[in-house]
Amino acid sequence: MKSYKITENDNTTIDPFLVVMNKENYGYRRLYDGLMESFKANVDVEKNQLIEMRKEIEDDHERKKAELEAMREDIDSQRQNLEAMMQKVFKQLPLGDSKD
């Protein structure tokens, strides 16, 4: 690109290649940096979206974990109540005769 020669046509006052690239190829860096900046901006946006999604997932996980813990405690209390009722029932049953 450094070997690019300006066209010899005198009617052309502005060479579009040189407008973009400059004589020493600074334009490539200028274009590339612009692309990289837009790429970095896209990456930053996606990163922020992923962070937000992660927060939502963690919050949802904590909420479901708390719900499961509450359900477990409820089941344990129901089990204890059932065991207590069964013991009452067993105590009320008459003892069977040992004459079989």
Write out pLDDT tens, residues 48-65: 999 999 999 999 999 999
* Domain, as residue range, for 25: 16-92
How many CA atoms lie less than 13 Å away from 22 in the CB half-sphere? 8
Residue 9 lies in a domain: no
In this predicted structure, the answer to whether residue 72 has a pLDDT above a threshold of 80 is yes
Residue 33 lies in a domain: yes
Where is pLDDT greater, at 100 or 59? Answer: 59
Number of compact structural domains in the chain: 1
Quote the mean pLDDT of the chain.
79
Q: Are 53 and 47 in contact (CB under 8 A)?
A: no
User: Residues 39, 43, 45, CA angle at the centre, nearest 5°?
Assistant: 115
Residue 7 lies in a domain: no
Residue 97 lies in a domain: no
pLDDT value at residue 81: 97
Element (H, E) at 50: helix 26-92
Of 2-16, 30-44, 62-76, 81-95, the one with minimum mean pLDDT is: 2-16
pLDDT value at residue 95: 76
